[in-house]
Copies of this chain bind each other. A is one copy, B any other.
Amino acid sequence: MEFVAEIDIMPHTELLDPQGNAVLQNMKYLDIHGVLNVRIGRHVTMAVEAGSAEEAREKVEVACQKLLANQIMESYQYILNPK
């Protein structure tokens, strides 16, 4: 069975996000007012072939922990759907 994980990897809320702040500061030059906060992270879509949702979830977990997210600075969350 094929599953698709939609993974969001974001900087921890306690940490500064210079990229997000740069975007926030520049909103006014685009005449966009009322933006309170911007945080920028990564979005990963990952298609996995696995026997069960449980098995697919395990692969996604390992990929997030070992390769995709730097857990010192980032947290991740994902949803897993059958394709």
* A contact residues vs B (CB 8 Å cutoff): 2, 6, 8-10, 20, 23, 26-27, 30-50, 59, 62-63, 66-68
Contacts and interface: CB of A to CB of B under 8 A. Distances in A.
Assembly stoichiometry (copies): 2
Contact of A39 (B20, B34, B45): B45
B40 A47 contact: no
Contacts of A34: 48-50, 59
Interface of A, secondary structure class, is strand
A67 B39 CA distance: 14
Nearest to A9: B43
A30 B6 CA distance: 20
Residue with the greatest number of chain B CB neighbours at <10 A, chosen from A34, A42, A62: A34
